Amino acid sequence: MSGFRQYLVKRLILALVVVIGMSMITFFLARVAPSDPAALWVGLHARPEQVEKARIELGLDKPLYIQYFIYIRDLVSGSWGISYRTRRPVIEDIMNYLPASIELAVAGLLIASVVGIPLGVVAASKKDTKVDHACRTFGVLTLSTPSFWMGLTLQLIFARILGILPLQGRLSPDIAEMNPIQRITGFYLVDSLLTGNFVAFQDALLHIILPSITLAAYSTGLSLRMTRSTMIEVLRERYIVAAKAFGMPKNVIMFYYALKNAIIPTLTVLGISFAWTLTGVFLVEVVFNWPGLGTYTWRAILAVDYPVIVAVTVISTLIIVVTNLILDLIQAYLDPRVKL
């Protein structure tokens, strides 16, 4: 077996251990929460005998370890349980809400890449100047500002005071009524373009601007600082000094030779940041009433909806583990010095 295959098998085994461990911890922690899911299932005004009957039907009368093994069996077979709150299969709910979160996270990642990386290059090329200090200050502000506070501030300025962008939601009610988007992928921007619904596309684009900027703030500061630090190290290399001595254009040196070697750590950070953003988008979605996985999970937590909480935890763990694996493989491919 080659070194690459051994590395891949080892990482897959480790990923499986992590996913099982996280599902186990979340499962047992959810079960010890001071709430009765059987009462949630039958309703607020149910009689004690109805609650007890529901507890037996849901399997909540069995020992915890048996409940866990039953859940893992159903999970492997593709049955993720029924949500106590919505009364629908959890996997169907997740597939309905997940595209909205992915679309928002991708938009935030694009903004972070387009803004953070160029500013990091500029800051490195103007090291210890006023431009560098301004870029670093901007990076610190985006890193340290709480996302919910930034979201509320953007809503106040651009939605309430200026009135140029929507306050919340994913699509305006009148647009959703008059120009509904035909669901193909679940991504409003993509589906509206595929079906030629440009009115809905424009409205969906306006709605995603404020939440995506809010979500991109932390990643922007992170990519800026990482790009600046790696660029400064690369600019000290001999081949960069030689390129300057040969009189090559500064932009070619900065964006072709230097950035090419400095971008790998930044891409790694952005990839990890994307995974964490996708799985931790709760506050932004709640502030902007964005109908994504974060909002769905937040409501499930308030209702102590066990199947949803565990399922979302497993999915979040899978996203982070798979993203880390892909990033490691890409880094090993781009940089031969990296050993598998």
pLDDT class for 1, splitting at 50, 70, 90?
A: very low
Q: Does residue 147 surpass a pLDDT of 70?
A: yes
Domain contains 283: yes
Strand, coil or helix: what is 89? strand
Q: Which domain holds residue 187?
A: 97-302
Q: What value, to the nearest 5°, has the Cα angle with vertex 339 and ends 337 and 340?
A: 145
- The pLDDT of residue 47: 75
Residue 308 lies in a domain: no
Query: Residues of the chain with pLDDT > 70: what percent?
Result: 90
Q: Do the domain assignments include residue 333? A: no
Q: Is residue 102 part of a domain?
A: yes
Nearest C-alpha neighbor of 81 from the set 266, 310, 260, 263:
310
pLDDT digits (tens, 9 = 90+) for 221-232: 888 988 888 888
**Residue 36: phi, psi to the nearest 5?**
-115, 105
Q: Report pTM.
A: 0.79
104, 204 contact by CB (below 8 A)? no
109 falls within a domain: yes
Q: In the chain, count of helices (H) and strands (E)?
A: 16, 0
Q: What are phi and psi of 102, to 5 degrees?
A: -65, -45
The span from the CA of 281 to the CA of 145, in Å, is: 15
Question: Could you tell me the CATH number of the domain that includes residue 226?
Answer: 1.10.3720.10
* Cβ atoms within 10 Å of 314's Cβ, excluding its own: 20
In the block, residue with structure tokens 């440009």 = 198
Contacts of 302 (CB under 8 A, 6+ apart): none
Closest C-alpha among 298, 312, 301 to residue 35: 301
| For the ranges 6-20, 266-280, 284-298, the one whose mean pLDDT is highest | 284-298
Q: Determine, yes or no, domain membership for 189.
A: yes
In a domain, 66, yes or no: no
C-alpha dist (Å) from residue 228 to 124, 218, 252, 268, 327: 5, 16, 17, 15, 21
Looking at the structure of the chain, the number of domains it has is: 1
Averaged pLDDT, 36-59: 71
Residue 106 forms part of a structural domain = yes
What confidence tier does 25 reach under pLDDT thresholds 50, 70, 90? confident
Most confident among 201-205, 230-234, 265-269 (mean pLDDT): 201-205
Band of residue 323 on the pLDDT scale cut at 50, 70, 90 = confident
- C-alpha radius of gyration, the chain, whole number: 24
